[in-house]
């Protein structure tokens, strides 16, 4: 085995099969001559009882001396206990973020999350995460990569924060699955954007206009009784849209609406007489178990947005969303003096902080109570002394 030099390697001729010529100076260092005539420098060594081989570069792109120096460097790393060649191979086999997204959805989201949550996760993954960092190796994603993606969505802060939350959950599971070291989640310390919560409540005058329009479209037949009934139920019960949309007749009991599943699990919703009257007016569709029957036989209505846009435009309420009907239910309850804890129970909140967004509305009820109480006391007390004298400034 001669010492490999440029001249000796140039002189090697291709044969019918690939063959190796090993260097006399560095054990395991050699050149592979392929039958096509291409020559590549190689390093062969044993690690863990296995023979491994890696390419150091093509002859012509690097010289024999350069390849020998690289071989010595790698052998030195092996002697110190590391295996950069195996690390490179592992990195090459490491999953991409796109593969992590698929595993996350299949083994976690599909098994543990509700259908509505699955749709939102799928949307975040397909529209934002995969296009931005899908080709990155999971082990290579840095905080700066996540921060850049988050910053790119700064014009839609709510969406930006939802995407950040999905990425964070994915990389927490990547640590559980051994794809990244513990405590290496790249979402750590990436600050969320401030979200401005919408607090739109219908006034009594707006509610009256909405009620008038609902009656008119029902009488005219421009909207179905199922859709009109759905919006009335949303106002009178404070339910979430999905709870009314998927409501079945079998869930309506003497105790109220017995929902086997909701955003917060099984839930019993009180059903006041006004809401029962609305339910009584909604026609049953034979063979359809859903209260808000849709166009497809046996299914519930899926398009609430188009009817709502027509109704709100006619009522002069262009900025009111369907979810604002739930806000209106809550605001009326709080303003009437109902304890905030009771409002939370009616809304199906599991955390008091969620209901506390309506707490400031209780100020009106407190002021009214204070006026009524002072008025009663004043009538008993009699003359309070007339008008207050003007304050004199003492010089």
Dihedral angle computed from the Cα positions of residues 110, 115, 120 and 123, in that order, rounded to the nearest 10 degrees: 70
* Fold category of 204-362 in CATH: hpI Integrase; Chain A (1.10.443)
Q: Provide the 10 A C-beta neighbour count for residue 84.
A: 12
CA angle, residues 154, 157, 158, in degrees to nearest 5: 155
Token pair of 156, please? 């839609």
* Sign of the dihedral defined by the CA atoms of residues 365, 369, 372, 375, in that order: negative
From residue 208, how far is each of 13, 233, 294, 365 by CA, in Å? 95, 15, 27, 22
From residue 237, how far is each of 23, 116, 164, 231, 292 by CA, in Å? 84, 21, 33, 10, 15
- Distance, in Å, from the CA atom of 237 to the CA atom of 269, rounded to the nearest integer, reads 8
Q: Tell me what pLDDT residue 349 has.
A: 76
Place of tokens 């739109």: 200
- Distance, in Å, from the CA atom of 67 to the CA atom of 285, rounded to the nearest integer, reads 80
Q: Tell me what pLDDT residue 196 has.
A: 76
Residues pairing with 43 in the sheet? 29, 54
- Distance, in Å, from the CA atom of 177 to the CA atom of 172, rounded to the nearest integer, reads 9
What is the DSSP secondary structure assignment for residue 28, as one 8-state letter?
T
Prediction pTM value: 0.61
Q: Is 210 left (phi over 0), alpha (psi -120 to 50) or beta?
A: alpha
* Sign of the dihedral defined by the CA atoms of residues 282, 286, 288, 294, in that order: negative
Using DSSP, state whether 47 is helix, strand or coil: strand
Looking at domain 6-92, does it have CATH number 3.40.47.40?
no
* Backbone phi, psi, residue 358, to 5°: -95, 0
Residues pairing with 267 in the sheet? 259
Closest of 53, 33, 27, 31 to residue 41, by C-alpha? 31
| C-beta separation of 230 from 249 below 8 A | no
Token pair of 388, please? 């207050």
Q: Tell me what pLDDT residue 322 has.
A: 93
Q: Tell me what pLDDT residue 362 has.
A: 61
From residue 71, how far is each of 8, 38, 75, 209, 248 by CA, in Å? 18, 20, 6, 83, 72
What is the DSSP secondary structure assignment for residue 54, as one 8-state letter?
E
Q: Tell me what pLDDT residue 383 has.
A: 60
Using DSSP, state whether 285 is helix, strand or coil: coil
Q: What is the CA radius of gyration of the chain?
A: 36
* Backbone phi, psi, residue 275, to 5°: -70, -35
| C-beta separation of 329 from 238 below 8 A | yes
pLDDT string in tens for the chain (395-residue length) = 678 998 999 999 999 999 999 998 898 899 999 999 999 999 888 877 778 888 889 998 999 999 999 889 888 878 777 766 666 666 676 789 999 999 999 999 988 888 888 999 999 999 999 999 999 999 899 999 999 999 999 999 999 999 999 999 999 999 999 888 999 999 999 999 988 777 788 888 999 999 999 999 999 999 999 999 999 999 999 888 989 999 999 999 998 888 887 766 778 888 889 999 999 999 999 999 999 999 999 999 999 999 999 999 999 999 999 999 988 888 888 877 787 788 777 787 777 776 777 776 666 666 777 777 788 877 887 765 555 555 555 55
Looking at domain 97-176, does it have CATH number 2.40.30.30?
no
Q: Regarding beta strands 256-259 and 267-269, do their DSSP bridges make them parallel or antiparallel, or are they unpaired? A: antiparallel
Place of tokens 């071989």: 71
What is the DSSP secondary structure assignment for residue 358, as one 8-state letter?
G
Closest of 100, 177, 103 to residue 140, by C-alpha? 100
CA angle, residues 235, 239, 245, in degrees to nearest 5: 100
Closest of 198, 346, 197 to residue 264, by C-alpha? 346
- Domains of the chain: which residue ranges? 6-92, 97-176, 204-362
Crossing angle of helices 84-93 and 64-79, rounded to 10°: 90
Give the largest Cα separation in the chain, rounded: 122
């Amino acid at each position: 085995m001669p010492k490999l030099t440029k001249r000796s390697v140039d002189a090697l001729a291709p044969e019918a099969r690939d063959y190796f010529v090993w260097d006399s100076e560095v054990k395991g260092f050699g050149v592979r001559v392929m039958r096509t005539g291409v020559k590549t420098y190689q390093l062969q060594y044993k690690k863990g009882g296995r023979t491994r081989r890696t390419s150091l570069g093509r002859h012509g792109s690097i010289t024999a001396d350069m390849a020998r120096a690289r071989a010595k460097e790698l052998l030195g790393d092996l002697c110190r206990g590391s295996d950069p060649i195996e690390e490179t191979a592992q990195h090459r086999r490491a999953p991409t973020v796109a593969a992590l997204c698929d595993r996350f959805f299949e083994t976690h989201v599909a098994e543990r999350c509700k259908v509505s949550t699955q749709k939102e996760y799928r949307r975040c993954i397909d529209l934002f995460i995969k296009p931005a960092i899908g080709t990155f190796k999971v082990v290579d994603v840095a905080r700066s990569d996540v921060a850049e993606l988050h910053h790119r969505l700064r014009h839609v802060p709510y969406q930006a924060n939802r995407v950040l939350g999905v990425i964070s959950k994915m990389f927490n599971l990547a640590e559980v699955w051994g794809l990244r070291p513990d405590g290496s989640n790249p979402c750590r310390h990436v600050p969320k954007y401030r979200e401005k919560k919408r607090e739109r409540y219908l006034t009594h005058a707006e509610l009256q206009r909405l009620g008038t329009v609902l009656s008119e479209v029902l009488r005219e037949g421009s909207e179905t009784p199922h859709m009109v009934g759905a919006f009335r139920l949303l106002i009178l019960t404070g339910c979430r849209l999905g709870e009314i949309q998927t409501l079945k007749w079998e869930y309506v009991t003497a105790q109220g609406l017995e929902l086997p599943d909701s955003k917060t699990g099984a839930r019993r919703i009180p059903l006041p007489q006004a809401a029962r009257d609305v339910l009584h007016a909604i026609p049953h569709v034979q063979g359809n178990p859903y209260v808000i029957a849709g166009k497809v036989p046996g299914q519930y209505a899926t398009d609430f947005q188009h009817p709502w846009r027509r109704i709100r435009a006619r009522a002069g309420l262009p900025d009111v969303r369907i979810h604002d009907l739930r806000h209106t239910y809550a605001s009326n309850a709080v303003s009437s003096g109902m304890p905030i804890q009771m409002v939370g129970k009616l809304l199906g909140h599991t955390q008091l902080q969620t209901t506390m967004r309506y707490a400031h509305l209780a100020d009106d009820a407190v002021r009214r109570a204070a006026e009524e109480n002072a008025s009663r006391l004043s009538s008993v007390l009699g003359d309070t002394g007339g008008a207050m004298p003007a304050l004199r400034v003492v010089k």
